[in-house]
Structure 1
Amino acid sequence: MTWHDLHHSDLGVDDLYDVLALRNRVFVVEQDCCYQDIDGLDLVADTRHLLARASSGSALAQVRGGAGVQSVVGYARLLAPAAGEAGAPARIGRVIVSAEARGQALGRRLMERALASCATHWPDAGVELSAQAHLRAFYASLGFEPVSDVYDEDGIPHVDMRLTP
């Protein structure tokens, strides 16, 4: 597994294509959720993209264009705290593990790296996320607690969660 923690300005065309393809494959097709994934936040301010790529020789790798291509099998988008808002949190979103990579604790490693990246880039900010409600216990195991009631987002129950100190 190769990890990349990239500022949006360092995100290459192939990286962006692979990320959007994975998000489309899982969030839109697999979860049968018709929504506007490209929301204008991927390439703004200090947005960061955390990618996990399968080694090209592994069973998870999918060749997209020739030998040596590594497939994105895990991803999270990290949004910087809103500028000018005192106490604004960083936000982790679009957390995703490809179907082929599930069951290998990649989601936990992805979130641990996302939290470490937030601590590095925005050390004084809290961290929040909007979790699919069925993943509440998973996020709680990483130190998050619910701060909202369950609500519907694009037909899927969600809950807002905040990292507790």
Structure 2
Amino acid sequence: MSWHVKKFDELSNRTLYEIMKERVSVFVVEQQCAYPEIDGKDYLCYHLFKEENGEIMAYLRIIPLGVSYEDAASIGRVFVKKEHRGQQLAQTLLEKGLEFLEDKLKEKRIRIQAQEYLKEFYGSFGFKAISEVYLEDNIPHIDMELIID
């Protein structure tokens, strides 16, 4: 099993296909939410994922400063494939994403739109709520921010 961080143009066609297939499986099908999954930001992002034998097990998108927010970087499209949940992959995934943002991109402010049920999970990494709960695509969300000293 290996972890990878790649820019969009570094992804093979097969890997990109697998990432998009799993993102649609989780965010559109599993969560029963019809929304524009392909949003035009992927070209500008880094893609962090765990792969084993061609299977994408866990993934998140690292969004540089200025792409989603003018004053903050972001993380999004975070998932662990259903068959691999409960193995601490989400914690490792987020740790690696935050480490990349801090060490490689030198970011100090990270803002996310978290699904509300994950507020405590993100809070355990130091994220603080900066909004009230709101509906996005009929799913309760909350804006959260992490300031790295």
TM-score for both structures, normalised by structure 2: 0.93
The reply to whether residue 37 of structure 1 matches residue 37 of structure 2 is yes
Offset, 1:7: 1.4
Offset, 1:80: 0.7
Unaligned runs of 5+ in 1: 57-69
Q: Is the 8 A contact 2:73 2:107 kept in 1?
A: no
The structure with the larger Rg is 1
2:62 aligned residue: 78
Q: Secondary structure at the match of 1:43?
A: helix
Of Structure 1 and Structure 2, the greater strand share is in 2
Q: Secondary structure at the match of 1:131?
A: strand
Q: Is the 8 A contact 2:112 2:145 kept in 1?
A: yes
Offset, 1:125: 3.5
Task: List, as ranges, runs of 4+ consecutive aligned residues in structure 1 with deviation greater than 6 Å.
Answer: none
The reply to whether residue 109 of structure 1 matches residue 107 of structure 2 is no
Offset, 1:49: 0.3
The code of the aligned residue for 1:128 comes to R
Q: Secondary structure at the match of 1:143?
A: coil
Q: Secondary structure at the match of 1:24?
A: helix
Offset, 1:12: 1.5
Share of identical aligned residues, percent? Answer: 38
1:7 aligned residue: 7
The code of the aligned residue for 2:55 comes to S
The code of the aligned residue for 1:110 comes to L
Of Structure 1 and Structure 2, the greater helix share is in 2
2:125 aligned residue: 142
Residues paired across the two proteins, number: 147
Offset, 1:96: 0.6
Offset, 1:114: 0.4
Unaligned runs of 5+ in 2: none
> Deviation string for 1:55-90 (max 9, x for gaps)?
x3xxxxxxxxxxxxx20010000111017x87x211
CA distance in 1, matches of 2:118, 2:74: 17
